[in-house]
Amino acid sequence: DAKTTQPTSMDCAEGRAANLPCNHSTISGNEYVYWYRQIHSQGPQYIIHGLKNNETNEMASLIITEDRKSSTLILPHATLRDTAVYYCIAGYSTLTFGKGTMLLVSP
């Protein structure tokens, strides 16, 4: 899996959009960009993934740059329940978890 780099922590006000960046400059052509989140003491939750096109589902949007070297996860209207560690992973079927971004959503 390609190495990813994410900010250690981010803050977001409730109701605002949370934009979480991820750098994956060494991603290979067959690797997808996956996003998971982990709420304290729970198993990771799948959010979204994509190859090169932007993706949207009921949870979030994923914007991947044209060169695929970076991506942004967008939570359009963050709630307190979105407080979690967010992991960006570049891989295929196996996942290598980094340290992720601790997103704190405040009232």
Partner 1 sequence: GAVVSQHPSRVICKSGTSVKIECRSLDFQATTMFWYRQFPKQSLMLMATSNEGSKATYEQGVEKDKFLINHASLTLSTLTVTSAHPEDSSFYICSVLLAGAFRAKNIQYFGAGTRLSVL
Residues that bind partner 1 (CB under 8 A): 30, 32, 34, 36, 38, 41-46, 49, 51, 87, 92-100
Minimum distance from residue 31 beta carbon to partner 1 (Å): 10
Nearer to partner 1, 29 or 107 (CB): 29
Question: Which residue number, 13 or 51, has a Cβ lying nearer to partner 1?
Answer: 51
Query: Residue 50: how many CB atoms within 10 A of its CB?
Result: 18
Q: For residues 45 and 37, is the Cβ–Cβ distance under 8 A?
A: yes
Tell me, what amino acid is at 65? T
Residue 86 and residue 84: Cα distance in Å, rounded? 6
Q: Which is nearer to partner 1, 36 or 82 (CB)?
A: 36
